[in-house]
Chains A and B, each alone.
Chain A
Amino acid sequence: DSGVTQTPKHLITATGQRVTLRCSPRSGDLSVYWYQQSLDQGLQFLIQYYNGEERAKGNILERFSAQQFPDLHSELNLSSLELGDSALYFCASSGGLDTQYFGPGTRLTVL
Chain B
Amino acid sequence: GENVEQHPSTLSVQEGDSAVIKCTYSDSASNYFPWYKQELGKRPQLIIDIRSNVGEKKDQRIAVTLNKTAKHFSLHITETQPEDSAVYFCAASIDSNYQLIWGAGTKLIIKP
Contact = CB atoms under 8 A, between A and B. Distances in A.
Given A98-B32, A98-B34, A99-B49, A43 B44 contact: yes
Contacts of A2: 43, 45
Contacts of A90: 43-44
A104 B38 CA distance: 11
A98 B95 contact: yes
A56 B97 contact: yes
B73 interface: no
A47 to B, nearest CB: 10
Interface residues of A, number: 23
A55 B43 contact: no
A99 B34 contact: yes
Given A42-B105, A43-B89, A102 B45 contact: yes
B20 interface: no
Interface string B28-51: 000010101000011111100100
Interface in B82-107: 89, 93, 95, 97-100, 102-105
Contacts of A56: 97, 99
Given A55-B97, A56-B97, A98-B93, A105 B43 contact: yes
Which of B41, B44, B89 neighbours the largest number of chain A CB atoms within 10 Å of its CB? B44
B98 A31 contact: yes
Interface of A: 2, 31, 33, 42-43, 45, 48, 50, 55-56, 88, 90, 94, 96-105
**Which 10 A-B residue pairs are closest in the complex by CB-CB distance?**
A102-B43, A98-B32, A42-B104, A98-B93, A42-B105, A56-B99, A43-B102, A102-B44, A104-B43, A98-B98
28 contacts: A2-B45, A31-B98, A33-B100, A42-B102, A42-B105, A43-B44, A43-B89, A43-B102, A43-B105, A45-B100, A48-B98, A50-B98, A55-B99, A56-B97, A56-B99, A90-B43, A94-B98, A96-B98, A99-B46, A99-B49, A100-B34, A100-B46, A100-B100, A102-B36, A102-B43, A102-B44, A102-B45, A105-B42
